[in-house]
Amino acid sequence: MRPKNTTKTIVTLAVIAALGAMIGAVRLYSQSSGGGAEYIGSAQCLACHENIDTQLMATKHSILFQKEGPEDKQGCEACHGPGSEHMSEAPEGIIRFNGASKAAESAACLKCHADGDKAEWKMSIHASEDMSCADCHSPHGKVKERSEREKREIETLLVDSEADLCLDCHQEKRGEFSKPSHMPVLEGQMGCSDCHSPHNNSPLQMERAAASCVSCHAEKSGPFLTEHEPVAESCLNCHDPHGSVNQNLLTQRQPTLCLQCHANTSVIHRSNSTQYKTCTNCHKAVHGSRLNADNNLFN
């Protein structure tokens, strides 16, 4: 068990890191949006950018045009910063979500979206690869609708389907999703973010895989009278979470997979009978047994 003082220290450091990221984002946003510029209101913006409001009002960002509060939290200038310089001699004097400054783009978003895993964005792998929020999200909601699942992607302002966004960079996974046994990502029945968080620095590791898997496969979570040790350690010991040429996402076929641990099986298991080619013909409770307190995992 972890000492209480150690736990408190970890929590304190996590809070300090999150606050530091938020403060840094606000400072960077302020510097990028022009120190001497003044707020002019969204009506001035929409006089030139006529169609933006119609598109934006269909997204969650429509709340920026409906609430009262500080000028820096309302309308177009909540994201783009004060617009007076943009209207006059310095058209570039606003935050532009066109890749000109990745850090400034993300800082503008983090001014509001600094909760949950997004508080760790500055320490994430994606941020370290010089990506910004606007690489995946459109503040104005420019999303391509392709399936029913896109409803969630419209709500999160993704610029394309979640699968296509992730697989544009992680191309090796597209091939895995095309294998005979695979997660139904390409079919639109689930998304990468069901298992992975794109905003923090916590890829799905061995010790976290089981918690992610049993969120859908609850029947595999136990408790069991007899546990199968590799299963208790991690689902990834036996399964490839993206795709496999073997049934049930197994990393290898039976009995090869089982013999990696159970090499010293009895002579009867080495018979040429096809019955012994598939261990789960007999050992059906391979994830753990709730009925028998023995080591055979028959049921």
Q: What is the largest CA-CA distance in the chain?
A: 87
Residue scoring higher pLDDT (139 or 209): 139
Span 242-248, mean pLDDT? 96
Q: Is the pLDDT of residue 272 over 90?
A: no
Span 137-152, mean pLDDT? 64
Which pLDDT score is estimated for 205?
53
Span 249-276, mean pLDDT? 82
> What tens digit of pLDDT does each residue of 22-64 get?
444 444 444 444 457 899 999 999 888 887 877 788 788 888 8
User: If you average pLDDT over every residue of the chain, what do you get?
Assistant: 79
Span 72-96, mean pLDDT? 84
Span 222-243, mean pLDDT? 90
Q: Is the pLDDT of residue 115 over 90?
A: no
Sequence-ordered list of residues with C-beta below 8 angstroms from that of 247, at least 6 positions apart, any chain: 181
Position 109: which residue type?
A: C
pTM over 0.85: no
Please, which pLDDT band fits residue 21 given cuts at 50, 70 and 90?
A: very low
